[in-house]
Amino acid sequence: MTKNIYTGIVVNLNVDTVTLPNGITVDLEVVRHPGAAAVVPLKDDGTVILIKQFRHAAGGFIYEIPAGKLHPGEDPKVCAVRELEEEVGYRAGSLELLSSIFTAPGFTDEVIHIYKATGLTTGHQQLDRDEVLDVIEMPLAKAIGMIEAGEIRDAKSIVGLYAVHL
């Protein structure tokens, strides 16, 4: 049984009554999210394109790879293409799926599909009104160093950057 507690623009909050594999029945709060796509834009010279974006929930600006929420029924690859151009102003010649990850499976069903974008060409940045960000370009090795120094703490970005680095 599912009881909807809140329906929002981005997420819904439900309380699901479930019977666990051990036979115990419990109520679990679950944040339902439509999913997202993220992109590690990699230039031919090994430069990665990140964003330094204001995130209220994180308490300020954080470094991230470009990403965005899936539209209903949208193919994650289509979302990745859109977000790459909208957020950093580039188009990809090629997109390769690196991984699809659960963000926080203890309380949400959100899955982020992470792609590597290569063959980049200039497009047109077109930020949403709630996006406050700077585009930052740096060598991949520097981004990896920022992860190791605790300067990049966003999980999808860490997964994507390490997947490209390996």
**Angle in degrees, 0-180, between the axes of helices 140-148 and 155-165, rounded to the nearest 10:** 130
Q: 113 forms bridges with which residues in the sheet?
A: 37, 100
Which residues are within 8 A (CB) of 39 and not within 5 positions of it... i.e. 6 or more apart?
65, 66, 67, 80, 83, 84, 92, 95, 114, 115, 116, 117, 160
The one-letter amino acid code at 26 reads V
> Known catalytic residues?
131
